[in-house]
Amino acid sequence: MTIYNIYDDESVKKIIKDFQNLLMDADNFPRDKDPNDYREFWTGLRGRGSSLLGLTNHLLEVLNNKEKK
């Protein structure tokens, strides 16, 4: 089974940076704001988090295939 690298360096850096920025924004969320305003982070997690999960799964598959060789 051949694994194709579907993530170029630029894509990897963007996925990681976008997720880091989301975490920073969530950490800096004012505690006195309405908790419903936190929805932007939940929706961001669903998008950026799924991208990060996809990248992680891809990297694990690459590592597992290298171990098999």
For every one of its 69 residues, what pLDDT tens digit does the chain have, with 9 covering 90 and above? 444 567 888 999 999 999 999 888 888 887 787 777 777 888 888 889 899 999 999 999 888 988 887
* The predicted structure's pLDDT at residue 46: 87
Neighbours of 14 (CB within 10 A): 14
Distance CA 60, CA 5 (A): 12
DSSP per residue, the chain: -PPP----HHHHHHHHHHHHHHHHHHHT--TTS-GGGGHHHHHHIIIIIHHHHHHHHHHHHHHHHHHH-
| pLDDT given for residue 60 in this prediction | 92
pTM equals 0.72
Q: What is the pLDDT of residue 4?
A: 56
pLDDT for residue 1: 42
